Amino acid sequence: MGPLLPLDLIVDAFFAIDIILTFFVSYLDKTTYLLVVDHKKIAMRYVTKMLFPMDVASTLPFQLIHRVVTGKVHSGEAFRFLSLLRLWRLRRVSQLFKRLEKDTRFSYFITRCCKLICATLFSVHSAGCFYFWLATRHKNPENTWIGSQVPDFEQRTIKLGYTYSIYWAVVTLTTVGYGDLHAVNPSEKAFTLFYMLFNIGLTAYVIGNMTNLIVHNAIRTFAVRDSINEILRYGSKNRLPEGLKDQMLAHLQLKSKTVELQQEEVIANLPKAIRSSISQHLFYPTIEKTYILRGVSQDFIAQMVSEIKAEYFPPKVDIILQNEIPTDFYILVSGLVEVLVYKNGTEQLLSRLGSSDMAGEIAVLLNIPQPFTLRTRKLSQVIRISHDHFKQLVKPNSQDGNILLSNFIQYLKSLKQEIVQEIPCLPELLSDLATITEATDLNEDPQNQESVDGNTRVIEEDVGGNCCPWCNVRVIIHGNSPNQNTTKGKLVYLPPTIEDLYRLAENKFGKRPNMIVIGDDSEVEELNALRDNDHLYLIF
């Protein structure tokens, strides 16, 4: 009933309010994972789990109640043991630390360290207090661990006894063991044995947690260092050029620095709808500005954005190599990329690409080897799009496919002459497209024509048809019969109709054929029956 009684009563009042509020706090049912808000169920759960009786027992001021009822002040051993019920409140502290550890507004490292420090201090305080209590209850005070050093310790201040007790607890916990304070009677020795065994577990718990915290912060650094060492060993064993090893190391270091920005790493475990929304927020403004997607529907762009993959490339790293197999093309989000070509053993710069520019799409859509090398000039972020995925998007969207085709052809026509000459088959393709366009301009059926950027050209009804360069059939036409070998074959894209094929053959060989056959002298009547790389022979 000392001077701390008012403060003690205030704390008890807060815990009493907490007990009342608990009857109105919903909980998560672990069987159904539904939030229970029914007050009856909340109360039944709180009472039946013995939480309510223990909370009440740890909150009631028994000494004050005894004084009010009897009018006498009593501070016997019974009330002291009843005060130990307040240790039940410590579970609230444990719950508080759990919430703080999950709260991203607080540092997990600092929160965890505070929890370990509090656990250690509590164990030291409890052990010291109990050890001192053993000394005060012994029949011969001088035959105790503190009485052998301070004979009149019972008449001294509580501060002195607490200092000695904490000193003994810390020395024992840290296994220093100076021997100046040691157990004397059997009860003290028994408690000391128990405390030292407890310290083994506490020390292991503290050291294990601290090790995990330190390793968790450094594990990424260890992984990067191991990867760098592996790359260096690999490069040395295979005698790779220094420039190539530098590119490998630069890419690895960039990946480690941007790991938190990588889309796949951050949102891999999220639902597909959320991933699509994030991708649209990040990359939709960039993709809709690309030349090939101008005029297409927003639905098509949204479908395309939902499956894209973003990557980072450090400066002076090759994104695409000349003559490699075309499988993906790229859209530049940020940075700067150089378009290079190797001629006569030297590199020549053709152009530079910036934000929203495309790279590698010509080879992918025309199904030819990559004609250029693309190298980053500075740190660049690009979007990689698979050819197969792009094809799957185009086929069911015929109207958007027509617009894509028109944009792509217009782009090819707008390329500089030095770039066109470096792309295999492109000059011939542009000539074929011009021939087909000119021929279809003479078609008497105007319903099949559509105006694109001021130029009249035929737009196919189905994007999967033969006008689509990236899904077209390529055939080889010969200006002779199958039994002759007088003219050299020419590789062309199959036009949409048989009449267009006749016009294309006339443009290539100077005269209109009477019949077109394949190798076994079968006449060609349906273009859909032809396959890629079939040989067609012209009969004049």
Q: Which residues of 80-102 are buried (b: 16+ CB within 10 A; e: fewer)?
A: eebeebbeebeeeeeeebeebee
Q: Please classify residue 34 by burial: count the beta carbons closer than 10 Å to its beta carbon, then call 0-12 exposed, 13-18 middle and 19+ buried.
A: exposed
Predicted confidence at residue 378, as pLDDT, reads 86
pLDDT in tens, 444-464: 344 433 433 333 333 333 333
* pLDDT score of 358 more than 50: yes
Cα distance between residue 377 and residue 336, in whole Å: 5
Closest CA to 459 of 499, 399, 501: 399
pLDDT in the model for residue 187 = 92
What are the extents of the domains in the chain?
1-88, 107-261, 263-432, 472-539
Q: Lowest-confidence range among 190-194, 294-298, 432-436, 465-469?
A: 465-469
The pLDDT assigned to 441 comes to 46
Residue 489 has which token pair?
């074959």
What is the amino acid identity at position 152?
A: D
- How many residues belong to the chain? 540
Q: What would the pLDDT profile of 10-24 be if each residue is shown by its tens digit? A: 878 888 888 888 888
For the residues 243-270, what does the mean pLDDT come to? 68
The answer to whether the beta carbons of residues 539 and 481 sit under 8 Å apart is: yes
Q: What's the half-sphere exposure (Cβ side, CA atoms, 13 Å) at 146?
A: 27
For residues 315-334, average pLDDT = 87
Residue range 224-233, pLDDT digits in tens: 778 888 888 8
| Angle subtended at Cα 281 by Cα 275 and Cα 283, rounded to the nearest 5 degrees | 95
pLDDT for position 128: 92
Residue whose C-alpha is closest to residue 52's, from 89, 19, 93: 19
pLDDT in the model for residue 455: 35
pLDDT at 439: 47
pLDDT per residue as tens digits for the range 500-518: 788 888 887 778 888 888 8
**Quick one: tokens of 477?**
């036409």
Task: Tell whether the model's pLDDT for residue 520 goes beyond 90.
Answer: no
pLDDT number for residue 166: 93
* Residue 452 CB coordination number (10 Å): 17
The fold of the 263-432 domain, in CATH, is Jelly Rolls (2.60.120)
Residue 137: count other Cβ atoms within 10 Å of its Cβ: 11
Alpha carbon distance, N-terminus to C-terminus of the chain: 121
Distance CA 81, CA 386 (A): 73
The DSSP secondary-structure symbol of 355 reads T
Fold of the domain spanning 472-539: Ubiquitin-like (UB roll) (3.10.20)
Mean pLDDT of all residues belonging to the chain:
79
Cβ 365 vs Cβ 394: under 8 Å: no
Give the pLDDT confidence of 182-209 residue by residue, as tens digits: 899 999 999 999 999 999 999 999 999 8
pLDDT at 467 over 50: no
Which of 127-131, 341-345, 433-437 shows the lowest mean pLDDT across its residues? 433-437
**Rounded mean pLDDT of 51-67?**
78
Is the distance from CB of 157 to CB of 225 less than 8 angstroms?
no
The average pLDDT across 27-36 equals: 80
* pLDDT for position 468: 42
* Amino acid present at 63: Q
Please tell me the predicted confidence (pLDDT) of residue 168: 93
The residue with greater pLDDT, 486 or 534, is 534
328 beta partners: 386
Q: What is the mean pLDDT of residues 283-304?
A: 86
Share of the chain above pLDDT 70, in %: 84
Strands (E), 405-487: 449-452, 455-458, 474-478
Which CATH number is associated with domain 107-261?
1.10.287.70
Q: What integer is the mean pLDDT of 62-87? A: 70
Per DSSP, the three-state class of 385 is: strand
Per-residue pLDDT, 117: 93
Would you call 538 helix, strand, or coil by DSSP? strand
Which pairing describes strands 373-376 and 337-343: parallel, antiparallel, or unpaired? antiparallel
Rounded CA-CA distance 131/147 in Å is 12
Of residues 54 and 185, which shows the higher confidence score?
Answer: 185
Whole-angstrom Cα distance, residue 122 to residue 326? 66
Of residues 538 and 79, which shows the higher confidence score? 538
Q: Is 112 within 8 Å of 209 (Cβ atoms)?
A: yes
Instruction: Flag whether pLDDT at 27 surpasses 50.
Output: yes
Residue 516 neighbours by CB under 8 Å, 6+ apart: 477, 498, 501, 502, 505, 523, 524, 536, 537, 538, 539
Q: How far apart are CA 429 and CA 478, in angstroms?
A: 17
Tell me if 320 sits within 8 A of 387, measured CB to CB.
no
Question: Which range scores top for mean pLDDT: 8-12, 299-303, 431-435, 483-487?
Answer: 299-303
pLDDT tens across 359-369, in order?
888 888 887 88
pLDDT tens digit sequence for 375-406: 988 888 888 888 888 888 888 887 888 888 88
353 secondary structure, DSSP code: E
Amino acid at residue number 423: I
Instruction: Enter the DSSP assignment of 523.
Output: B
| pLDDT score, position 36 | 86
Say what the pLDDT of residue 486 is: 59
